[in-house]
Structure 1
Amino acid sequence: MGGARAHLPGGRALRCPRRQIAHERTRREQIRLQAAEMFARGTCDPQIARCLRVSRTSVNRWHQVDRWHQVGGARR
């Protein structure tokens, strides 16, 4: 079974060019880097989510990964 696809009028499938996908990936990475800077300054997760206009779930996940990398880096 194929995945869900968005369709344009006339039944044509909507396709996303690779360039646009790469642009979105870069944009999301920039947001994650901004969040990491805010973690380092001690900003709370809900405030980061509001400021960056992302979900608190995403910020919590990023913060957990950030803490994991800090602990792993300290052990080396």
Structure 2
Amino acid sequence: MDPRPPHRAIEPGSRSCCCPSEPVAQIVLAPGETHAHEVDILLCAHHLRRSALVLRSLGVAVYDRKGNLIEDPARVFGRDR
């Protein structure tokens, strides 16, 4: 089981970072070489599906609207593309 705790929920009325759609997931990028702090990215279902393989390969945390960890975003929100 993943040791990551639940993340904060997506605020009502929030919009995805990549388009005007309602976000279904939060991607959390850990601090690294390009940023000194954690970065949250809100994604709609379409962009989450399109990014699922890359997100999995990067090992980033993906959380649902309520802040619960999503183990396999491609399976939850559609198939990989």
> Which TM-score tier does this pair reach, normalised by the shorter chain?
under 0.3
Greater Cα radius of gyration, structure 1 or 2: 1
Q: Which has the higher contact order (CA 8 A, sep 6+)?
A: 2
**What TM-score do you get using the length of structure 2 for normalisation?**
0.25
**What TM-score do you get using the length of structure 1 for normalisation?**
0.26
